[in-house]
């Protein structure tokens, strides 16, 4: 009862507000009686008007539609009805669920196991009164967490951005008056008027149309605008077949129309995508998983050290608490606190390098994820192709054939006569010239600033005329009459006369071959009209079929004095061709073991033609439709999709299904796309890549990466960068762990065996600076090797600490420990340790460190192959560390602090030769691996 009373009160207040808002100028306040009467009317007509699904609405007659939505199609809704429906259906917009507060998102960054381990080591440092260590570790953690938080905070706005595609204004009929309203004000049952250039404000069932063409490519992937009708459909297929329904966010390209709102906000087709995006979680990246595993491995390693030290101490009868303190200190020292900083800096530099290549990366770890990517699923329209219809083939009525270069509406390119490859201009070949002239005249499109206003197919014909230098020929004719194109007759014709010439009228016609040929009795042969024979018709039909089977949209052109006596001029083949560089990029990806799959809403023939053209799966194509996908069980789907190269007639749900199936099969999936229909798949893929220019706001915000220039080939650069980053992180881990294990082993051995300590506290601190400082950090910025792209994608199960890396770490550590202990033994006099002993041992260890860093620049390539001078930061870091070590040895004030003394030239030479052993052995191992263990990977179509 209380709830009902509150609802009535709310309605009353809202109605009063609306009555004030819409009262005529100069009128007094709304009368109390009218308000009461309307309120009673609302309460009496508490009839819930439900939204209509497009598949139901398309089968309704206008009268049934008006009855179902309780609206008068001539006057529209009343303000009372609008208020009633808004209370039920809400505003025509998308509401994003309350997100977590910023502080909670920041704290979530601390859940990383490695970060928690570092915080634990900082706490131990405080307990053991090592305050400097605690401060440095805490500072490192805060820097890493803050950088990661800022990056991720910027990128988590995908759902909010959906509102940007909802148009702000529309023309709506209410209470018999055409009003200019905000799109968010619409409710089911509103009557909307559409004209050229309008974005559709809600899902509409059309009730009146005049030559209406709507661009639905962002939903369906179809490059060609859809012809819309107001007639009732008997059967409802998928959304591409609903010719009497238009969807929110699509664009009116031509004509005008009137429709009834059947779905708003989340109840629209657009809303379906919104809800699917809400349900999708962005998957964790392989690097994040690898770092999690590394954190756990280092934790176990730390506890192992503590346990071992305590066990040895207990066996020796030492005090357990003291041994525990030593064990904890060593464990803390073993944890590479520089690792998170190196990872973050490496990723940030990767992001900056990608930005220079016109690729925006929104989440740091995504850069590295590309190194694991083994399947790229790409949308066709606007991604692999430019979404610009282009004439690529001409066949004249007298048998001449020509091919056309250049893509889009900029007029760049040429027409080449086959097989001679002669470039044709104007009427240098009369038959080709007449064919191009007809296409230019029977045309309503205009090209301005390299974009088409009108139908894309007509734009393609204008662009063809521009390439032939015939674009102005249209101005030599005066148009007297137009017979517009309709989906029933499938042709368009114009009746013209030449300017300033007293000649007979001439008709120009274009359309489907089987329709145009019926109006022809002659054919053109070098400018002369000859009688059309059955043999000629059969030849044209064969050519039309051949062009159609290669994915071209074929138009026939004719001209003549009257319909029925036209001269057939020839055929024009139009397609949305692949972008420049796509074929080469696909080939490089296939060679590196990355499978490329095309997912499109287009028909099979067009999809196969583009697939063949770009070299998908080396020409061995296997295709599957959206309907076939629906019929497969989940288990069967995962095994089937791996071997399919082309998916056609797909919806957003199909795209999501394909990606999920590939992920279940163990693939790391990248999805590239530009439309609303790609948004859900972009978010659920391991890497979502959107187009910067052609892409919708939704696709850009759902993606992790944006290709600013819409250049598919830059994906190669991104994959190369991703592989390089992971290798750099491994190089750093190898260097730091081999150095820390060596230092720890020296201290542990001396502690356990009751030997004098070979290094003092200040010397250990200096080694720590080198271990975590510039030489180590500079390994993270090693430039990406040019052969990296040829390497197969790394498996998701590969950890940073692989068996091979662990063996190399221990190999380097054993050489460093052995060499340092040898120097310590050699320089240890019988009378006990003196400054020379510690200086030689200390310098030996530092030189080992620097040579170790040099060989850690690559795990597989020799230093001569990668070059000494490629990583300048590394050179400066090593040189700085070397000069710093000399300063520690030779400058008197520093000698006092570090307890060192001068060494002779022969001493330095001896230490250099000894320390270089770690470099020489590591390089020799690389050489053996190179000749004995060549990496194997298969090229091709599956993972």
Residue 526's SS3 state is coil
Cα-based distances in Å from 263 to 13, 187, 246, 270, 272: 26, 8, 11, 10, 11
Task: Quote the CA–CA distance of 899 and 805 in Å, as a whole number.
Answer: 36
Element (H, E) at 169: strand 169-174
CB 215: neighbour CB atoms within 10 A? 21
Burial call 95-107: b when 16+ CB within 10 Å, e when fewer: eeeeeeeeeeebe
Task: Quote the CA–CA distance of 578 and 587 in Å, as a whole number.
Answer: 14
Task: Quote the CA–CA distance of 287 and 114 in Å, as a whole number.
Answer: 13
Task: Quote the CA–CA distance of 363 and 154 in Å, as a whole number.
Answer: 9
**CA triple 797-803-805, angle to 5 deg:** 105
Among the listed residues 411, 222, 384, the one whose alpha carbon sits nearest the alpha carbon of residue 711 = 384
578, β-bridge pairs = 385
The number of angstroms, rounded, from the C-alpha of 633 to the middle of its chain's C-alpha atoms is 28
Q: Is 907 designated active site?
A: no
The number of angstroms, rounded, from the C-alpha of 149 to the middle of its chain's C-alpha atoms is 21
**CA triple 272-276-279, angle to 5 deg:** 145
497, β-bridge pairs = 478
The 3-class SS string of 584-622 reads HHHHHHHHCCCEEEEECCCCHHHHHHHHHHHCHHHHCCC
Would you give the DSSP letter of residue 200? Answer: P
Residue whose pair of structure tokens reads 């009218």 in the numeric block: 34
The number of angstroms, rounded, from the C-alpha of 497 to the middle of its chain's C-alpha atoms is 52
Cα-based distances in Å from 826 to 113, 820, 832, 845, 922: 43, 10, 12, 14, 25
Helices and strands, counts by H and E, the chain:
34, 28
Q: Which residue among 379, 398, 711, 907 is the active-site one?
A: 379
The 3-class SS string of 691-729 reads ECCCCCHHHHHHCCEEECCCCCCHHHHHHHHHHHHHHHH
Q: What are phi and psi of 256, to 5 degrees?
A: -145, 165
Helix, strand, coil: what percent of the chain each, to 5? 50, 15, 30
Name the pairing type of β-strands 566-575 and 623-625.
unpaired
Task: Quote the CA–CA distance of 106 and 632 in Å, as a whole number.
Answer: 43
Residue whose pair of structure tokens reads 């889009």 in the numeric block: 408
Check if the beta carbon of residue 330 is closer than 8 Å to that of residue 748.
yes
For residue 809, give both structure tokens.
């770490």
CB 682: neighbour CB atoms within 10 A? 33
CB 494: neighbour CB atoms within 10 A? 22
Check if the beta carbon of residue 510 is closer than 8 Å to that of residue 568.
no
**CA triple 324-290-738, angle to 5 deg:** 50
Cα-based distances in Å from 651 to 350, 361, 622: 34, 27, 19
The most distant pair of C-alpha atoms in the chain lies apart, rounded to whole Å, by 123
**CA triple 205-206-208, angle to 5 deg:** 155
Among the listed residues 320, 53, 85, the one whose alpha carbon sits nearest the alpha carbon of residue 188 = 85
* Residues marked as catalytic: 379
């Amino acid at each position: 009862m209380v709830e009902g009373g509150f609802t009535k009160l709310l309605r009353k207040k809202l109605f009063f507000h609306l009555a004030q808002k819409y009262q005529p100028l100069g009128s007094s306040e709304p009368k109390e009686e009218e308000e009461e009467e309307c309120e009673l009317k609302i309460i009496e007509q508490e009839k819930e008007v439900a939204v209509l699904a497009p598949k139901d609405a398309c089968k309704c007659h206008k009268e049934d539609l008006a009855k179902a939505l309780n609206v008068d199609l001539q006057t529209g809704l009343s303000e009372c009805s609008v208020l009633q429906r808004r209370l039920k259906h809400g505003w025509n917009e998308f509401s994003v669920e309350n997100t977590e507060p910023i502080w909670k998102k920041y704290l979530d960054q601390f859940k990383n196991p490695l970060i928690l381990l570092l915080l634990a080591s900082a706490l131990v440092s405080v307990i053991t009164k090592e305050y400097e260590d605690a401060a440095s570790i805490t500072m490192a953690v805060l820097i890493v967490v803050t950088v990661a938080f800022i990056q991720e905070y910027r990128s988590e706005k995908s759902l909010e951005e959906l509102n940007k595609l909802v148009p702000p204004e529309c023309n709506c009929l209410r209470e018999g008056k055409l009003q200019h309203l905000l799109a968010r004000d619409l409710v089911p049952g509103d009557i909307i008027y559409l004209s050229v250039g309008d974005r559709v404000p809600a899902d509409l069932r059309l009730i009146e149309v005049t030559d209406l063409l709507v661009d639905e490519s962002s939903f369906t992937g179809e490059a060609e605008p859809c012809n819309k009708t107001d007639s009732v459909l008997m059967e409802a297929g998928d959304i591409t077949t609903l010719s009497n329904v238009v969807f929110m966010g699509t664009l009116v390209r031509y004509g005008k129309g009137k429709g009834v709102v059947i779905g708003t906000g989340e109840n629209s087709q657009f809303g379906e995508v919104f809800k699917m995006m809400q349900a999708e979680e962005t998957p964790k990246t392989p690097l994040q998983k690898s770092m999690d595993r590394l954190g756990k491995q280092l934790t176990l390693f730390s506890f192992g050290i503590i346990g071992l030290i305590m066990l040895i101490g207990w066996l020796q009868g030492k005090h357990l608490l003291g041994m525990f303190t030593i064990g904890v200190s060593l464990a803390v020292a073993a944890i590479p606190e520089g690792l998170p900083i190196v990872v973050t800096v490496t990723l940030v530099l990767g992001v900056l390098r990608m930005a220079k290549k016109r690729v925006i990366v929104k989440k740091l770890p995504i850069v590295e994820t590309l190194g694991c990517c083994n399947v790229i699923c790409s949308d066709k329209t606007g991604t692999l192709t430019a979404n610009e219809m282009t004439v690529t083939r001409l066949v004249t009525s007298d048998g001449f054939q020509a091919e056309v270069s250049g893509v889009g509406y900029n007029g760049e390119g040429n027409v080449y006569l086959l097989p001679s490859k002669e470039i044709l201009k104007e009427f240098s070949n009369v038959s080709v010239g007449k064919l191009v002239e007809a296409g230019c005249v029977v045309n309503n499109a205009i090209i301005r600033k390299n974009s088409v206003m009108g139908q894309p197919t007509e734009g393609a014909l204008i662009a063809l005329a521009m390439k032939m230098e015939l674009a102005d020929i249209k101005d030599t004719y005066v148009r007297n009459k137009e017979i517009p194109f309709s989906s029933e007759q499938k042709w368009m014709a114009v009746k013209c006369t030449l300017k300033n010439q007293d000649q007979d009228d001439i008709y120009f016609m274009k359309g489907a071959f089987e329709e145009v040929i019926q109006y022809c009795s002659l054919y053109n042969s070098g400018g002369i009209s000859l009688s059309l024979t059955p043999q000629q018709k059969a030849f044209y039909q064969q050519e039309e079929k051949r062009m159609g089977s290669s994915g071209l949209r074929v138009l026939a052109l004719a001209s003549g004095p009257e319909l029925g006596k036209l001269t057939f001029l020839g055929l024009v083949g139009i397609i949305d061709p692949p972008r420049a560089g796509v074929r080469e990029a696909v080939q490089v990806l296939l060679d590196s073991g990355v499978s490329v799959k095309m997912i499109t809403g287009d028909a099979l023939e067009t999809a196969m033609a583009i697939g063949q053209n770009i070299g998908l799966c080396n020409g061995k194509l296997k295709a599957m439709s959206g309907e076939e996908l629906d019929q497969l069980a989940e288990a069967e789907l995962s095994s089937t999709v791996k071997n399919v190269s082309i998916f056609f007639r797909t919806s957003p749900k199909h795209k999501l299904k394909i990606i999920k199936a590939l992920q279940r099969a163990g693939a790391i999936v990248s999805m590239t796309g530009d439309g609303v229909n790609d948004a859900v798949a972009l978010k659920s893929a391991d890497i979502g890549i959107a187009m910067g220019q052609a892409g919708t706001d939704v696709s850009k915000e759902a993606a992790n990466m944006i290709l600013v220039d819409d250049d598919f080939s830059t994906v190669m650069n991104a994959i190369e960068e991703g592989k390089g980053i992971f290798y750099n992180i491994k190089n750093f881990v190898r260097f730091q762990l081999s150095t820390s294990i060596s230092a720890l082993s020296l201290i542990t051995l001396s502690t356990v065996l009751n030997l004098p300590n070979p290094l003092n506290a200040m010397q250990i601190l200096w080694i720590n600076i080198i271990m975590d400082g510039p030489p180590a950090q500079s390994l993270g910025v090693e430039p990406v090797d040019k052969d990296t792209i040829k390497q197969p994608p790394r498996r998701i199960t590969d950890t940073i600490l692989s068996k091979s890396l662990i063996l190399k770490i221990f190999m380097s550590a054993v050489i460093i420990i052995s060499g340092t202990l040898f120097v310590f033994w050699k320089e240890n006099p019988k009378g006990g340790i003196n400054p020379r002993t510690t200086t030689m041992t200390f310098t030996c260890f530092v030189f080992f460190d620097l040579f170790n860093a040099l060989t850690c620049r690559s795990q597989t390539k020799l230093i001569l192959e990668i070059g000494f001078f490629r990583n300048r930061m590394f050179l400066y870091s090593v040189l700085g560390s070397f000069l710093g070590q000399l300063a520690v040895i030779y400058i008197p004030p520093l000698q006092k602090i570090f307890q060192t003394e001068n060494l002779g030239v022969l001493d330095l030479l001896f230490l250099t030769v000894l320390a270089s052993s770690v470099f020489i052995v590591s390089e020799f191992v690389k050489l053996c691996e190179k000749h004995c263990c060549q990496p194997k990977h298969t090229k091709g179509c599956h993972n």
